[in-house]
Amino acid sequence: MTAIVTDEKQLQAPLLGGAPSSLPRPPHHQRNSSRQRLWRVLRPLIAIWALSSLLYCCASNLIRLGNYGVEISNRHSALPKHHERLLKYDGEHISWKTCGTVADRDVECSTIDVPMDQFNASNNANGQHFSIPLIRMRGKNATRSILLNPGGPGGSGSNFLYRKGAQLNTIIGEGFHLLSFDPRGINESRPAASCYPDPPARHDFSAVRDKKVVEDSGELWAWTANYVRSCADTMGEYAPHINTPQTAADMNSILDAIGQPELYYWGFSYGTLLGQTYATLFPDRARRVIIDGVANQFDWYDHPLDLEELTDTDAVFAGFLDECLKAGPGNCSLASLASSKDELSHNLIAAVAKLRDEPVPVYLNSTAHGVLDFWAVWHDGIFPALYKPANWPELATNLASLLQGNATAAFLSYAFDRNAWNESSDAFRFVSLNDGVSGPAHWPKDRLGLVAKLLPHFNSTSMFGDNELSHYFAKQAWPIPRSHGFVPQNGVQTVHPLLILSTTYDPVCPLVSARSAHKAFEGSKLVEVKGYGHCSLAVPSVCIARYVREFLYEGRLPEEDHVQCEVDGEPYFVKPDEGGKVVPTVVFEGEEERRIHLAQLELARDLDWGFRRW
Ligand SMILES: *[C@@H]1O[C@H](CO)[C@@H](O)[C@H](O)[C@H]1NC(C)=O
Ligand SMILES: *[C@@H]1O[C@H](CO)[C@@H](O)[C@H](O)[C@H]1NC(C)=O
Ligand SMILES: *[C@@H]1O[C@H](CO)[C@@H](O)[C@H](O)[C@H]1NC(C)=O
Ligand SMILES: *[C@@H]1O[C@H](CO)[C@@H](O)[C@H](O)[C@H]1NC(C)=O
Ligand SMILES: *[C@@H]1O[C@H](CO)[C@@H](O)[C@H](O)[C@H]1NC(C)=O
Ligand SMILES: *[C@@H]1O[C@H](CO)[C@@H](O)[C@H](O)[C@H]1NC(C)=O
Ligand SMILES: *[C@@H]1O[C@H](CO)[C@@H](O)[C@H](O)[C@H]1NC(C)=O
Ligand SMILES: *[C@@H]1O[C@H](CO)[C@@H](O)[C@H](O)[C@H]1NC(C)=O
């Protein structure tokens, strides 16, 4: 990046269109002498820009530094020891500072404040607001930013960009800056959504027995009554405003802050609900919206029970067994334990089900021991592994030893010192319950009535259905009133049609939900990658990347309503590469496609995806 070092005060005024308070002075801190020379050359130019802003009072078009930023040091000139470098870009209304690197490239961070209630200013009369951390990785040839949401709700955009920015940059190309954010209430956004005032309270009050629908319902019912009150008390007046329509409006605040009129967007998982909500509320700004791993917005907002989400979960489980048998005992240890898929499925389910009533003790030493139960294997082991086929070889190994009577590996992977989803905040609850049909008015009023409603739902959706037990108890009891009036629509006409991505078998966001979005948004097109896993990035497919690029850069969509892409190579049950080096599974002629394939393989094998949804 080309940048000049100067003093914030001198440039901010003209950039923002106001009168400069003084003419530029040389900076106190310079990184090197070539910077000094550059400064001497640019200083008079900046003075002229500053003056011209006074003369012509034209705010936004005066300073043309191309796509490059003005790097500003010495924000607090009274405190020269803080040499924080601030970055400011033409046309933007905020400044940034570098906050680490991704793939040897500096990334930059900023924070904006958004009103607590984006839709009714009188609720912010005392200055109530959320702070929203932003993070951006600059494309080398970009004039626009694409916003990314990793899912959840509760996923942190900062974390996502640090972890996946390098690969996403390779897939998207240098024509876009990658911009993500911690949505209101999430991670470093403040106030942070929480049901406990501090970590000790979480430690003391969060334990509850919630693994058996019928047997645990008494304790869970009583515990939940306190839990939801604590959610409401902890967040006070902010509580009702942690929801998806507000976050959609926050994306406009982000666009306004960077001076970008229209939204370019790629949202994964829960990010597809955010994308659909945005496109419905603000169709005129929805220039390029990609939703990937789609959730049904009508279920999310309008139905007490989510009817569709687990449609294909059992099919992914069956796919795991199928691919294991196809790979054979040399590549999948479970394959030696049965001769057919039905037999394997039956034996495995029976062995795990036995843990419901007979959990097994695992003792390693006096500081490492515990109990392996049904929930750990089924819901913390198998279920999350369905999100990414790259998990499958290890899952198969752990299950094979469990079936052979050794529970140690499964215990260490799924039960010991492990929180599969690593949730340290309650953002998921606030967003999903504030969005949806929550509270006793919409639900059976008593425990047995609730259990009677949930049981057939769990039984009919999926073998994994009951992992939503505590979620629905909280939904029934939720005391925070729904503050938004958003209603999903069909026939939404956006300024440019949406691109919808899905795998064939997604454990939590099934293809049928992608079809629902396709129906809701006029002109949208659906691209399906013929594989297993959650969101298109669960498997490598250069074909998908081509569709993404054509869409983002040229606005081009497939001609047919629904097209398919192949998975590249054989992603299931391949042995992990030695030394962590990723070796391509197919050969591409072009260098660019080879790079994209490698990036996709890295994403497919990064098991800490960080997004979850149900
Ligand atoms: C906006 O908020 C105020 C104060 O809470 C409320 O009285 C008013 O009805 C709200 N207006 C709308 C349009 O919802
Ligand atoms: C940079 O972007 C412009 C406009 O999008 C494009 O025409 C040009 O080919 C790009 N240059 C490179 C080196 O990618
Ligand atoms: C929260 O944000 C920080 C800083 O942006 C980041 O390093 C961290 O990974 C995030 N934490 C989580 C749990 O996402
Ligand atoms: C494992 O899979 C690879 C790739 O499909 C295959 O070439 C190899 O023969 C398999 N190994 C065994 C022992 O089955
Ligand atoms: C106990 O076992 C755990 C898990 O294998 C290991 O990390 C730890 O170091 C062991 N502690 C002692 C005291 O041996
Ligand atoms: C059980 O498996 C663990 C590794 O997961 C291994 O260290 C241990 O020796 C096995 N125990 C027996 C009795 O085979
Ligand atoms: C979970 O998050 C905490 C901090 O938020 C971190 O220290 C820990 O390593 C994480 N655990 C896993 C399994 O990712
Ligand atoms: C649901 O399945 C459970 C066992 O998991 C069974 O005990 C119960 O009777 C079933 N209930 C309904 C309503 O189908």
Q: Could you give phi then psi for residue 530, rounded to 5 degrees?
A: -80, 70
CA of 556 relative to ligand 7 center, distance in Å:
41
Q: Dihedral (C-alpha) 600, 533, 272, 613: value to the nearest 10 degrees?
A: -120
The answer on pLDDT for 68 being more than 60 is no
Q: Which ligand is nearest to the CA of 329?
A: 4
Per-residue pLDDT of 297-328, as tens digits, reads 999 999 999 999 999 999 999 999 999 999 99
| Confidence at residue 583, expressed as pLDDT on a 0 to 100 scale | 62
- Measure the CA–CA gap between 19 and 454, rounded to whole angstroms: 63
Tell me, letter by letter, the H, E, C secondary structure of 454-477.
HHHHHHHHCCCHHHHHHHHHHHHH
Q: State how far Cα 580 lies from the chain centre.
A: 25
Arithmetic mean of pLDDT, 390-399: 94
Which residues form ligand 6's pocket by a CB distance below 6 Å? Answer: 401, 406, 408-409
| Confidence at residue 607, expressed as pLDDT on a 0 to 100 scale | 76
- Measure the CA–CA gap between 563 and 524, rounded to whole angstroms: 12
Q: Give the residue, out of 324, 331, 572, with the most ligand 4 atoms within 8 A of its beta carbon, to mutate for a pocket test.
A: 331
417 lines ligand 7 (CB under 6 A): no
Q: What percent of the chain has pLDDT over 70?
A: 82
Residue 183 carries which side chain, given as an amino acid letter? Answer: P
**In 3D, which of 378, 381, 359 has the Cα closest to residue 370?**
359
143 lines ligand 2 (CB under 6 A): no
The answer on pLDDT for 38 being more than 70 is no
Rg (CA), the chain: 26
Which residue has its alpha carbon closest to ligand 8 atom 13? 456
CA of 156 relative to ligand 3 center, distance in Å:
6
Q: Could you give phi then psi for residue 53, rounded to 5 degrees?
A: -70, -30
438 lines ligand 3 (CB under 6 A): no
Arithmetic mean of pLDDT, 330-336: 92
Residue 389 carries which side chain, given as an amino acid letter? Answer: P
| Confidence at residue 423, expressed as pLDDT on a 0 to 100 scale | 54
Arithmetic mean of pLDDT, 423-445: 92
Per-residue pLDDT of 249-272, as tens digits, reads 999 999 999 999 999 999 999 999
The answer on pLDDT for 14 being more than 80 is no
The answer on pLDDT for 280 being more than 90 is yes
456 lines ligand 8 (CB under 6 A): yes
Arithmetic mean of pLDDT, 413-438: 82
CA of 140 relative to ligand 2 center, distance in Å:
9
**In 3D, which of 400, 261, 276, 248 has the Cα closest to residue 331?**
400
The answer on pLDDT for 527 being more than 50 is yes
| Confidence at residue 519, expressed as pLDDT on a 0 to 100 scale | 98
The answer on pLDDT for 169 being more than 70 is yes
* Confidence band for 612, pLDDT divided at 50, 70 and 90: low
If you average pLDDT over every residue of the chain, what do you get?
Answer: 85
339 lines ligand 7 (CB under 6 A): no
Per-residue pLDDT of 550-583, as tens digits, reads 999 999 999 999 999 999 986 588 665 544 556 6
128 lines ligand 1 (CB under 6 A): no
pTM given for the model: 0.86
Q: How many residues does the chain have?
A: 614
- Measure the CA–CA gap between 182 and 162, rounded to whole angstroms: 13
| Confidence at residue 581, expressed as pLDDT on a 0 to 100 scale | 56
